[in-house]
Amino acid sequence: MQHWKVWWVGLLLSGWQGVGDSHAASSKPTTRQAKRVTSVFRTFATLKDAKAEAKRQKKPLLVIVHATWSWPCKQFFKKTLKHPSIAPILKHYLVVKFGVKSAEAKKLTKQLKNVYLPANFMFSPEGKQVEHTIMYYPARHYRPVLLAGLGQGWTFDELKKAAKKRPNDLTLKLELARRGYLRRMRRLSATLYKKLWKADPDNALGLGAWGMYGVARCLVRRNRYAKATKMLEAFLKTYSSRSSAYQEAIRLLLFCYEWHGWDKKHAALLKRYRSLFPEASHAYQ
């Protein structure tokens, strides 16, 4: 089981978010795609110079703060940016990297309470920051943020304002919870997930299951594995396997079982997972 532990710890460090994401992010790009992603980066001495060039080209700016020793950064460059659903979007950005120890990176990350890598910052062509994310996330969840930076979707601030104006809109709450999670805003995300769970406990609207799953995910992020495990076990008894959050709940519970070292429970649940979702079972081989 040693190889499992290495894999699971990697997922923990990466800010892993669910089976659908990992399945999507695991697709191997062609050599042409890999070269295209590598060549998309531009080099500038300062953030000011990068903003000036973005303004000249009338393109939004994507700045990635990274470190060569960071496993999440390696996964982000290798899987997320090279994914077929991300590479075409990058063409519309001016993309720049700064090492975490550089003066430019420190200017950017001082707005963050804690620095987790990679840290991504999106700016409008005029130089205004419109979005940011913290840590590595697979393509499925990173894509909406990139599109928002292009004006093709709501930014976090826009979602927050819309949710305030429409407090009864549960779909907005779910989207805000997910986007807050990408910023490591655990308290906000947990609060919103709890509201979803409470408002739709029977999952009649298809949101209650996401709420319960989201609460458990926030608990895992806070290293409260025992409580998260109990909640996820209750989830599997409460909701149908046809619910959209069911697959991700199983995978998160597999993570918890692996963390506890409960091999028998892990093996039994893994067998069930492969039976229910054979198209995604390759992730566990």
Cα radius of gyration rounded to whole Å, the chain: 19
- Domains defined for the chain, CATH in brackets: 2-153 (3.40.30.10), 157-284 (1.25.40.10)
Structural contact between residues 256 and 248, judged by C-beta atoms closer than 8 angstroms: no
Q: Quote the pTM value.
A: 0.79
Token representation of residue 157 = 């601030």
Residues with pLDDT less than 50, the chain: 1-38, 281-285
Q: Tell me: the pLDDT tens digits for 242-274?
A: 998 999 899 899 999 999 999 999 999 999 999
Instruction: Return the closest-CA partner of residue 181 out of 227, 141, 130.
Output: 141
Strand partners, 133: 120
Q: How far is CA 30 from CA 56, 81, 87, 98, in A?
A: 32, 13, 12, 26
The pLDDT score that the predictor gives to residue 207 is 96
The single-letter DSSP state of residue 137 is -
Instruction: Return the closest-CA partner of residue 235 out of 272, 196, 208.
Output: 208
Q: Tell me: the pLDDT tens digits for 1-45?
A: 444 443 443 444 444 333 333 333 334 444 444 444 446 899 999
